[in-house]
Structure 1
Amino acid sequence: MSTDLSSRADVERRLWDEIEKHNTGMLGVTGAAAHHTQPMTAFVEPKTNQIWFFTRTDTGLAREVGEGRSAMFVHQQRDFQACIGGRLTLQRDPVRIDKYWNAVVAAWYPEGKADPKLTMLRLDCDDAQVWISQGGPIRFVWEIAKANATHTTPDVGGSTSLDFH
């Protein structure tokens, strides 16, 4: 999929499409005592620049978030990488629990939707840095060989920033 890095709309559309298609990434609170991100399944809402995650109120991440914290969600595929920053809050939202509930989610919550510890995390996205590789593996090999032969750096794509405000 070719994306025009100079087009904010193209990059933003690709960001949301990639997360929706491959919905797993690493989520973590910035400046937290634990400092480790963890794998989470993401449910995107592009119109509101939000990403939702299921969790339990008794997890370390939920305790770390408390009333809200700055957080980062990192999403990576073969030719696409993104780091999204924003504010993460706990939200027990029955409408979204119903909307995003599926067999995979249900496997993690044996008590079902009625589990009193079931909650969601909402990431209100502030900004993102997006890296997109262009041309696939053949172009990558060519650019590496050319860079080594000419003592230059390879041109395999680019990066751009998004501000959601």
Structure 2
Amino acid sequence: MANLDKLKQNPKEQLFEHLDDVRAVMLGSPVHHQHMQPMAPQVDKEAGTVWFYTNKSSDLVKALGQDGGEVHLCIVEKDYQACLLGDLTVDHNPQKIDQFWSSVIAAWFEGDKTDPDLTMLCFRPKNGSIWASDKNPITFAWEIAKANHKDQKPDIGERTSVDFH
């Protein structure tokens, strides 16, 4: 369950903790007719950035072009959801390639760290919204029943906005 006190006190810190724990996020494209795609986030908490390994030949890299673009990054977990708007750029940064490299990532690139098709994407968030709940399934059901009985909205969590500037 999400920690609602932390959501209220330090939503950015909590967000980066969740980003560091998830296996994949959904990452948008600056080209509106392309669908979002799952990507494995590599989090640089100090810099406030999220990095992704990808292929230079991918549709997302082609859509970004030289200048990059504004995209959405979404996290959807059972009790924590976030949607961030930010800038995504292609950045073949050797330090970042080394920093986050693992055997899981190596499995995707035949030439290892020197694969000519390997590149990095850097996401720099601008703002976002976060929804979180600390309700277990029984409490959730109780809140729904109570809301229907009293003709009111259920108390199932919190929402907050974050600004990264």
After TM superposition, the score normalised by the length of structure 1 is 0.93
CA contact (8 A) 2:43 2:50 kept: yes
Q: How far apart are residue 46 of structure 1 and its match?
A: 2.2
Counting only pairs closer than 5 Å after superposition, residues 46-57 of structure 1 correspond to structure 2 as: 46-57=45-56
Q: How far apart are residue 23 of structure 1 and its match?
A: 3.5
Q: How far apart are residue 160 of structure 1 and its match?
A: 0.5
Q: Deviations over 1:69-100 (max 9, x none)?
A: 00111011110000111110000011111111
For residues 139 and 157 of structure 1, what CA distance do their matches in structure 2 show? Answer: 11
* Equivalent AA in structure 1 for residue 116 of structure 2: P
For residues 24 and 157 of structure 1, what CA distance do their matches in structure 2 show? Answer: 23
Q: What SS does structure 2 have at the residue aligned with 1:110? A: coil
Structure 1: state its 5+ residue gaps.
Answer: none
Stretch deviating more after TM superposition (106-115 or 56-65): 106-115
* Equivalent AA in structure 2 for residue 145 of structure 1: A
For residues 142 and 14 of structure 1, what CA distance do their matches in structure 2 show? Answer: 27
Structure 2: state its 5+ residue gaps.
Answer: none
RMSD between superposed Cα atoms in Å: 1.2
Q: What SS does structure 1 have at the residue aligned with 2:28? A: strand
CA contact (8 A) 1:56 1:119 kept: yes
* Equivalent AA in structure 2 for residue 45 of structure 1: D
For residues 136 and 130 of structure 1, what CA distance do their matches in structure 2 show? Answer: 19
Q: How far apart are residue 33 of structure 1 and its match?
A: 4.3
Aligned position for 1:124? 124
Q: Deviations over 1:3-58 (max 9, x none)?
A: 22432x2x21211111101131100124x143310000001122222110001110
Q: What SS does structure 2 have at the residue aligned with 1:6? A: helix
Aligned position for 1:136? 136
Larger strand fraction of residues: 1
Q: 1:155 to 1:33 in 2, by over 3 A?
A: closer
* Equivalent AA in structure 1 for residue 8 of structure 2: S
State the 4+ residue runs in structure 1 displaced beyond 4 angstroms.
Answer: none
Q: What SS does structure 1 have at the residue aligned with 2:8? A: coil
Task: Report sequence identity in percent.
Answer: 36
After TM superposition, the score normalised by the length of structure 2 is 0.93
Q: What SS does structure 1 have at the residue aligned with 2:140? A: helix
* Equivalent AA in structure 2 for residue 2 of structure 1: N
Counting only pairs closer than 5 Å after superposition, residues 89-128 of structure 1 correspond to structure 2 as: 89-128=89-128
